[in-house]
Amino acid sequence: DTAVSQTPKYLVTQMGNDKSIKCEQNLGHDTMYWYKQDSKKFLKIMFSYNNKELIINETVPNRFSPKSPDKAHLNLHINSLELGDSAVYFCASSLSGSADTQYFGPGTRLTVL
Amino acid sequence: QKEVEQNSGPLSVPEGAIASLNCTYSDRVSQSFFWYRQYSGKSPELIMSIYSNGDKEDGRFTAQLNKASQYVSLLIRDSQPSDSATYLCAVTDSGGYQKVTFGTGTKLQVIP
């Protein structure tokens, strides 16, 4: 019974392509996040949504566009992929805000060739 | 730029010893502090959270917070090989939505 799920788990694509990653949580949480973890294992927040409303938007290229159709889902669409986008992308959720425990999905390993 | 700093390690300790992991943060008014464990190829999972000065114990784990020194630590007693992982310190800022900033992590190796 997966709490936070992401699809796909692996994504290999060519530069310039557009791709999407989907995330769903069944914990009833109000807040969801996207993180990027680079090759040095640094975990950096990209976006955060609370009840479908964008509340944190870090300095991320506008090629990245999150979308939250409802509070259980948070998707990430990436346009015109670049080599530097290669990383592991984690979705996470928390009950009401960042002061609460965050539960992470299994991650999506994106490789841009 | 608010920062969370950790020694990247690896920190090697023998099985049964105490492992001490340290973290400093730059935002003086940070409010919530977390330790996450991440096994290689897996996602982070919460070990401990701490919100006020002092110690907080949970089984073999003790988190220590000193807001005056802007310092938070994690002690792991009776270290086991299964504790070998990267430990991420995370700190929320003082803003309205309390953004979480993660440190770069300390890799712990417990030698049998």
**Contact yes or no for A50/A30 (Cβ under 8 A):** yes
Q: If you measure CA to CA, which chain B residue comes closest to A96?
A: B97
Residue B53 has pLDDT above 90, yes or no: yes
Facing residue for A104 by CB, picked from B43, B92, B105: B43
Select from B34, B38, B100, B104 the residue whose CB has the most chain A CBs within 10 Å, as the one to mutate to test that interface.
Answer: B100
Task: Give the pLDDT band (50/70/90) at residue B55.
Answer: very high
**Contact yes or no for A97/B98 (Cβ under 8 A):** yes
C-alpha triplet A37, B63, A91: angle, nearest 5°: 25
Residue B1 has pLDDT above 80, yes or no: no
**Contact yes or no for B21/B84 (Cβ under 8 A):** no
Residue type, A78: I
Facing residue for B98 by CB, picked from A43, A44, A97: A97
B54-73: average pLDDT: 96
For position A1, what pLDDT does the model report? 66
Provide the chain A residues 45-84 that lie in CB contact (below 8 A) with chain B: 45, 48, 50, 55-56
B28-49: average pLDDT: 93
Q: Please indicate if any CB of chain A lies within 8 Å of the CB of B98.
A: yes
| β B33-38/B45-50 pair status | antiparallel
A15 Cα to chain B: minimum distance (Å): 24
Q: Is the dihedral of CA B54, B51, B103, B36 positive or negative?
A: positive
Task: Give the pLDDT band (50/70/90) at residue A41.
Answer: confident
Rounded distance, CA A111 to CA A13, Å? 6
Facing residue for B104 by CB, picked from A41, A50, A103: A41
Facing residue for A40 by CB, picked from B44, B51, B104: B104
DSSP codes, A80-106:
S--GGG-EEEEEEEESSSTTSPPEE--
The predicted-structure confidence for A50-100, as pLDDT tens digits, reads as follows 988 898 888 889 999 999 999 999 999 999 999 999 999 999 999 987 778
Rounded distance, CA B93 to CA A92, Å? 18
Provide, as residue numbers in chain B, all residues whose Cβ is less than 8 Å from the Cβ of A59: none
**Please, which residues bridge with residue B76 across strands?**
B19, B61
Rounded distance, CA A36 to CA A47, Å? 10
Rounded distance, CA A34 to CA A48, Å? 7
Maximal CA-CA distance, chain A: 38
Rounded distance, CA B79 to CA B87, Å? 14
Q: Please indicate if any CB of chain B lies within 8 Å of the CB of A27.
A: no
The predicted-structure confidence for A1-37, as pLDDT tens digits, reads as follows 679 999 999 999 999 999 999 999 999 999 999 999 9
A74 Cα to chain B: minimum distance (Å): 17
For residue B49, what is the enclosing H or E element?
Answer: strand B45-50
For position B12, what pLDDT does the model report? 97
Average pLDDT, chain B: 92
**Contact yes or no for B54/B69 (Cβ under 8 A):** no
For position B93, what pLDDT does the model report? 78
**Residue B49 and residue A101: Cβ atoms within 8 Å?**
yes
Rounded distance, CA A67 to CA A59, Å? 17
Task: Give the pLDDT band (50/70/90) at residue B54.
Answer: very high
B17-27: average pLDDT: 95
Burial of B53 (0-12, 13-18, 19+ CB in 10 A): exposed
The residue among B42, B34, B84 whose CA lies nearest residue A105 is: B42
For position A62, what pLDDT does the model report? 92
For position B9, what pLDDT does the model report? 87
